[in-house]
């Protein structure tokens, strides 16, 4: 009688850990850097990342308070390392931007851009801009509470089935 209950609790715990692992895919020391961090619009920078999820595609976005530009994607290697040359769009006005690598979570690094000579003050109207999805501790909390609730409900259903199933079997 105790075996199905312990099996249900074990299964619930495994599901809880699996759901937490999907949200916390990268190691705590995961991060990205950019060289040079001070660049003129139109030039190329090198984006490097370490301790990331292996073989993971990330969307690259450059954004500030008023503008977000999709720079394409980059894929980590089998060791979770990222090395990608990125051309900073020539139309960008001077300012401080966040270069984001968006995967299971958003990693970002600051880039200071100086407008190129003769560049427009703002981005062209037809330029594709996106807004990144920020994920944080709240999302992790919701996933963990949902998994814990599912485990508890599953355990109670097994317990109830054992109790009612035992009464009918005699």
88/147 same-domain check: no
Looking at the structure, do residues 122 and 145 belong to the same domain, yes or no?
A: no
- pTM metric for this prediction: 0.56
| pLDDT, tens only, 58-94 | 999 999 988 899 999 999 999 999 999 999 999 999 9
Total count of domains within the chain: 2
Q: Do residues 122 and 54 both lie within one domain?
A: yes
Q: Does one domain contain both 112 and 47? A: yes
Whether residues 9 and 39 fall in one domain: no
Residues of the chain with pLDDT under 70: 1-28, 118-136, 166-170
pLDDT reported for residue 33: 93
Q: What is the pLDDT of residue 119?
A: 60
- Residues 53 and 79: beta-carbon distance below 8 Å: no
Domain residues for 94? 31-133
Same structural domain, 108 and 156: no
Shared-domain flag, residues 51 and 99: yes
Clarify whether residues 85 and 157 are in a common domain: no
Same domain, 10 and 57: no
Judgement on whether residues 50 and 98 belong to the same structural domain of the protein: yes
The per-residue pLDDT for 123 is 47
CATH number of the domain that residue 47 is part of: 2.60.40.1930
């Amino acid at each position: 009688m105790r075996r199905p209950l312990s099996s249900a609790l074990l299964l619930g715990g495994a599901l809880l850990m699996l759901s937490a692992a999907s949200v916390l895919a990268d190691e705590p020391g995961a991060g990205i850097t950019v060289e040079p961090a001070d660049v003129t619009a139109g030039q190329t920078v090198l984006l490097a990342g370490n301790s990331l999820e292996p073989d993971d595609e990330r969307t690259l976005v450059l954004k500030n308070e008023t503008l977000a530009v999709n720079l394409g994607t980059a894929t980590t290697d089998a060791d979770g390392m990222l090395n990608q040359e990125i051309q900073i769009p020539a139309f960008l006005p001077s300012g401080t931007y966040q270069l984001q690598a968006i995967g299971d979570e958003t990693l970002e690094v600051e880039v200071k851009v100086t407008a190129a000579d003769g560049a427009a003050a703002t981005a062209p109207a037809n330029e594709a801009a996106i807004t990144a999805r920020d994920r944080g501790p709240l999302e992790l909390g919701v996933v963990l509470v949902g998994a814990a609730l599912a485990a508890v409900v599953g355990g109670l259903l097994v317990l109830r089935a054992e109790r009612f199933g035992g009464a009918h079997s005699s």
